[in-house]
Amino acid sequence: MELTARAFWLGSPGHGEIREVALPAPAKDEVLVRTLYSGVSRGTESLVFRGGVPESQHASMRAPFQDGDFPAPVKYGYLSVGQVEEGPAGLLGRTVFCLYPHQTRYVVPASAVTVVPDSVPAARAVLAGTVETAVNALWDAAPLVGDRIAVVGGGMVGCSVAALLARFPGVRVQLVDADPQRAGIARALGVDFALPAEAADECDLVVHASATEAGLTRALELLAREGTVLEMSWYGDRRVSLPLGEAFHSRRLVVRSSQVGSVSPAARPGRTYADRLALALELLAEPAFDALVTGECDFTELPGVMAKLASGSIPGLCHRVVYDGV
């Protein structure tokens, strides 16, 4: 009998749909996964939904198991948690994370799934990809004990970075966002909160994740002499302007990028993508991360919900998709 599944596709920019797809029978070294939850990577997937991926970035923006090409039609996504229904004995029945789009079932190589630790609820594990991005950023940033740090932008990535920084000894961590409702999330994560105009300055490090020109400008303003802004925002096809005159040179400020597509060279030699993802899943044993999931819908509702997420009419951070009974 032919295996089938249902998948979320972007049919054209701004229009999502559910399509039936055929699945191959799993080979000896493959697994069949039944999806339990997936997560919407809000910033990136909203950009994809709007058709805003620049042509020059089509190759680098491809998700590991993407079907189709930008701008559309394309099946895109990379935060999936499911249960192995067929596969090697060591994986059968296990809950796993995979960088797969929103789809009810899928077949992938066994090497493409990572077992979710027993200490991490499956529903929370959808955050693994975002926490992995935060891990890579902190490898890049290499914060020191006692640093004064601001995270500008309280989205999924910014909050994940702040949550990890909250565990560093002796650091001053402040989450900075224009939305005062982020104060409650900051509290749950164990860090301070400030509106942009009220943020503490003289920072040794500012992690910028607001994806706005105003946020990046404010990040520079918050730095102490010889401080660093770690830029994590993805602007797609938008141009941004920065005040690189004024005191930028005399204060010897630094702006550097961080991107999860490569394992940070600052990580211990030999660290692999698999090592980084496994570490992110271990870190998700901390219940405080539940504060990052601020919305939920059934898989069948995803086309309408994705349009609202992309337009901003549904606020919040991670939106979790539930596949129960689908």
Whole-structure pTM value: 0.91
- Give the bridge partners for 257, in sequence order: 231
* Polymer length in residues for the chain: 326
Res. 236: pLDDT tops 80? no
Contacts of 246 (CB under 8 A, 6+ apart): none
- Looking at residue 1, its pLDDT comes to 59
In a domain, 264, yes or no: no
pLDDT in tens, 255-285: 999 988 889 988 878 889 999 999 999 999 9
Say if CB 40 and CB 314 are below 8 A apart. Answer: no
Tell me the average pLDDT across 287-303. 97
Residues 165 and 117 grouped into a single domain: no
Largest Cα span, the chain: 70
Q: Is 27 exposed, middle or buried (0-12, 13-18, 19+ CB in 10 A)?
A: exposed
What confidence tier does 237 reach under pLDDT thresholds 50, 70, 90? Answer: confident
Question: Does residue 266 lie within any of the structural domains?
Answer: no
Q: What is the pLDDT of residues 176-231, one digit of tens each?
A: 999 999 999 999 999 999 999 999 999 999 999 999 999 999 999 999 999 999 99
- The SS3 call for residue 279 is helix
**Are residues 137 and 251 both part of a single domain?**
yes
**Same domain as 154, residue 136:** yes
pLDDT category at 156 given cuts 50, 70, 90 is very high
Residue 145 and residue 238 in one domain: yes
Q: What is the pLDDT of residues 307-317, one digit of tens each?
A: 999 999 998 89
The total domain count for the chain is: 2
| Rounded percentage of the chain residues whose pLDDT exceeds 70 | 99
CATH number of the domain to which 50 belongs:
3.90.180.10
Average pLDDT of the chain to the nearest whole number: 94
Quickly state the pLDDT bin for 4 (edges 50, 70, 90): very high
Neighbours of 300 (CB within 10 A): 16
User: Who's near 28: CB < 8 A, 6+ residues apart?
Assistant: none
- Single out the residue of 56, 61, 59 nearest to residue 41, CA to CA: 61
* Tokens representing residue 279 in the block: 């570490």
pLDDT at residue 235 tops 90: no
Domain of residue 58: give its range. 3-124+284-322
Structure confidence at residue 246 as a pLDDT band (50, 70, 90): confident
Residue 149, C-beta contacts closer than 8 angstroms, at least 6 positions apart: 143, 165, 171, 172, 173, 174, 203, 204, 205, 206, 207
Residue 99 has pLDDT above 90, yes or no: yes
Residue 79 is assigned to a structural domain of this protein: yes
Q: Provide the CATH number for the domain around residue 223.
A: 3.40.50.720
Pairing of strands 30-40, 105-109: antiparallel
